[in-house]
Structure 1
Amino acid sequence: MSPFAYLAHTQLPALADRYDFKINYHAIDLPAAKLAVGNTAPPNVSMPVKLRYLMTDLQRWARRYDVPLVFPKTLKSERLNLGLYFAINRGRAEDYLRTAWLPTWGQGGDMGNEELIADVAHSMNWDVSEFLRFLDSPEAHDRYATDNQEAHRRGVFGAPTMMLGEEMWWGNDRLVFLEERLAAIKNDGGRQ
């Protein structure tokens, strides 16, 4: 549900490739992660002044990355989050995220809409009914719960969060610091 996770992901795979790192993807319930660390502030959409700034800032980042960004009709992301595990099972997490984010943050679609979710599966050349069944499966829900528990344990409070060991970088604007760390590791021959 995070626009900044969408924006970061337009850059992160290339960054990982440049430094020979592999991304291990995890889905989280963002409102639950915020609450787990005590963030009880109202959502951005209920603060018009902050939302106006946020929308301007998002467009600045979209222009910088030369990607489309349209606020989706809803932020009901749980079913698309659950789909990540179907993609991971098939070794296609990166493709799935790119495919799921295009009609949502890229084009403003309703991320909770079952037709949009089915279209994402179809675009991935997956059996749509198998994908939709997986979203309702105990496996999907158990893995989502496990990822959320682990995120809470590690102190994840927002998205995107990138972890390298126990080091954390939060936010699209922190990719530059992550890259500095990856470069230092590469320059040190991977010994850090």
Structure 2
Amino acid sequence: MTRTIDFYFDFISPFSYLAQLKLPDIARKAGCEVAYWPIDIPEAKIAAGNYGPSNREVLPKIKVMKADLERWAERYGVPLTFPASFDCADWNCAVLFASQHGKAEPFVTDAYRRIWGLGIDPRDRNELAACATAAGLDADALITFVESPVGQTEYRKARTQAIQRGVFGAPLMFVDDKIFWGNDRLDFLAEYLNK
């Protein structure tokens, strides 16, 4: 039986973008699969009792966070551009459609490239459609799913299950009974998988 890494993320999270750059390769090297679980970070934080403001609202923190993000992007040799908006709920929902069609990894990878690599506006339906097509999905069917009560119910159910599991932020990876939080914990995850 193949081990699974449950990857909880939100497209508003630049640290999840960084984690996704390395996680698929770590999983393949360890003979694991990645299960992609979209969350809503503000919702998960509140459910966990963290009522503080978002990082973007704490000016000294965002200044340091941006510098850290730039260092990580330079280390990984990738672009990092803050997106035109942080309205990523439809993209998160779309992951569930991509997962149902066996295309979660290419969809998530290209979505992060667009949102945090290029800095597109996630509210742009043309970008969402282009990402679906690039991942080998039917773009019209994906957008129909995102806009449907079925898609919204599935996304709400996924978020509820994440909160019940104790997800409080992103990126967060579960494997066996272990939890790894943050792209800077990927080395620990790889070490654990290779023991």
**TM score, norm. by length of structure 2:** 0.90
Equivalent in 118, 138, 146 of residue 149 of structure 2: 138
Is the alpha carbon distance of 1:139 and 1:165 closer, same or farther for their aligned partners in structure 2, counting shifts above 3 Å? farther
What is aligned with 1:84? Answer: 95
Moved more, 115-124 or 38-47: 115-124
Output the CA distance in 2 between the equivalents of 1:175 and 1:146.
27
Equivalent in 179, 182, 185 of residue 168 of structure 1: 179
Aligned length: 184
Output the CA distance in 2 between the equivalents of 1:103 and 1:24.
21
| TM alignment of 1:57-136, pairs within 5 A | 57-136=68-147
What is the root-mean-square deviation in Å for CA atoms of aligned residues? 1.2
What is aligned with 1:190? Answer: none
Output the CA distance in 2 between the equivalents of 1:7 and 1:70.
12
What is aligned with 2:37? Answer: 26
In the alignment, is the contact (CA less than 8 A) between 2:103 and 2:137 conserved in 1?
no
Output the CA distance in 2 between the equivalents of 1:162 and 1:82.
19
Give 1:37's aligned amino acid.
Answer: A
Structure number with higher strand proportion: 2
Q: Which of structures 1 and 2 has the bigger CA Rg? A: 1
Output the CA distance in 1 between the equivalents of 2:160 and 2:178.
18
Please say if 1:8 is aligned against 2:19. yes
Percent sequence identity is 38
Query: 1:68 deviation in Å?
Result: 1.1
Helix, strand or coil for the counterpart of 2:179? strand
Unaligned ranges ≥5, structure 2: 1-11
Deviations along 1:71-96, one digit per CA (max 9) or x if unpaired, are: 11111110001110111111010000
Equivalent in 47, 60, 71 of residue 58 of structure 2: 47
Deviations along 1:17-48, one digit per CA (max 9) or x if unpaired, are: 11101111111111100000011111111111
Equivalent in 155, 170, 192 of residue 181 of structure 1: 192
Is the alpha carbon distance of 1:137 and 1:65 closer, same or farther for their aligned partners in structure 2, counting shifts above 3 Å? same
Deviations along 1:154-185, one digit per CA (max 9) or x if unpaired, are: 1111111000133211101111111111011x
Equivalent in 24, 46, 67 of residue 56 of structure 1: 67
Structure 1 runs (4+) greater than 4 angstroms displaced:
none
**TM score, norm. by length of structure 1:** 0.91
Is the alpha carbon distance of 1:144 and 1:166 closer, same or farther for their aligned partners in structure 2, counting shifts above 3 Å? farther
Unaligned ranges ≥5, structure 1: 185-192
Moved more, 21-30 or 115-124: 115-124
In the alignment, is the contact (CA less than 8 A) between 2:103 and 2:136 conserved in 1?
no
